[in-house]
Structure 1
Amino acid sequence: MEFKGTQTIEAPRDVVWKCLNDPAILQACVPGCESFTAKSDDEYLAVVVASVGPVKAKFKGNLVLSDRVEAVGYRIAGQGEGGIAGFGKMNAEVRLSDVDGGTELTYVSTAEVGGKLAQIGSRLVSSVANKLADEFFKRFNANVSALAKA
């Protein structure tokens, strides 16, 4: 499954970059996130509750940031285990560029699921995963725009 999107954030690129690397802001933007802690400068441990159709599970996993180019972008690799619900893996590339009025954030993400989640049906899983990615970046946009105006 592949997802992509763009958000125009009303904040300078250096502010957006700083927020993309702030664990507290990232946690506030992840739908269903119960905890988000730094294991190192590039790795975070997370607990996220998600529902996909009739399956609701608590996923425990990690998120690794790599290929960081300051104020330009990075790669995100994440994976989570949800017990009998199955597992999820995600890879994304996030890029920043200057636009009138702020910063354009563009992302391209791929996701993979297994276990019970994979049995639900790819159309439903794809729809929910796309909605979660979209929700994350909308929340990120709102949080960063509000910080920049403060």
Structure 2
Amino acid sequence: MAMTMNGEATLPAAKQVVWEKLNDAEVLKACIPGCEQLNKDDDTHFSAVVKVKLGPVKATFKGKVELQDLDPPNGYRIVGEGEGGIAGFAKGGAKVMLEDAEGGQTLLRYEVDAQVGGKLMQLGSRLIDSVSKKLADEFFANFAKAVSEG
């Protein structure tokens, strides 16, 4: 099952600060809901372990992420995939774009395309879309707090 999602968030920090935080494994680990482990393997590769609950399904996903099309400090593309055992799999990508905003803030825009398979598909697109939106909102609330703290 394929899904798309896009959105934006205005962050209370300069574009360079936001860029640095988007590339900091410790900051990202603290901001990603359910993230138990996030390792920066090199400048463009991360490995992660994330626990999520999608309706009645709880799953631990182990995955890898690669940063592509780097354009510091304006954005990049994230491409990744994760395996959740019997729960299924998820793979996809996101384009992240940063723009200067008024008052020294930064506008972050994102476009996500993802595919899920296995048991997760049985949950239906409405539930998956709803949970994905909730997780994205939680990430950006956490990330806004992280960038505002310096």
Shorter chain as denominator, the TM-score bin is: over 0.9
Alpha-carbon deviations, 1:37-93, whole Å to 9, x = none?
A: 112211111000001010001100011111010110000112110000000113100
Alpha-carbon deviations, 1:86-140, whole Å to 9, x = none?
A: 0011310000111112111111111211000001111101111121122212211
Does residue 13 of structure 2 align to residue 11 of structure 1? yes
SS at 2:126 equivalent:
helix
Match of 2:120 among 107, 117, 122: 117
SS at 1:39 equivalent:
strand
The answer for unaligned runs of 5 or more in structure 1 is none
* Alignment-derived partner of residue 31 in structure 1: 33
Task: Provide the rounded CA distance (Å) in 1 between the counterparts of 2:78 and 2:139.
Answer: 14
The one-letter code matched in structure 2 to 1:58 is T
Task: Provide the rounded CA distance (Å) in 2 between the counterparts of 1:108 and 1:77.
Answer: 12
* Alignment-derived partner of residue 40 in structure 1: 42
Contact 1:5 1:134 in 2 (8 A): no
Taking only aligned residues, the RMSD between alpha carbons, in angstroms, comes to 0.9
Contact 1:78 1:91 in 2 (8 A): yes
Task: Provide the rounded CA distance (Å) in 2 between the counterparts of 1:145 and 1:78.
Answer: 27
The answer for unaligned runs of 5 or more in structure 2 is none
* Alignment-derived partner of residue 105 in structure 1: 108
* Alignment-derived partner of residue 78 in structure 2: 76
* Alignment-derived partner of residue 130 in structure 1: 133
So what's the TM-score if we normalise by structure 2? 0.94
* Alignment-derived partner of residue 139 in structure 1: 142
What's the CA shift for 1:29? 0.9
Task: Provide the rounded CA distance (Å) in 2 between the counterparts of 1:112 and 1:133.
Answer: 16
Instruction: Give the paired residue count.
Output: 147
SS at 1:71 equivalent:
coil
Task: Provide the rounded CA distance (Å) in 2 between the counterparts of 1:10 and 1:142.
Answer: 8
Identity among equivalent pairs (%):
52
SS at 1:11 equivalent:
coil
Task: Provide the rounded CA distance (Å) in 2 between the counterparts of 1:65 and 1:142.
Answer: 23
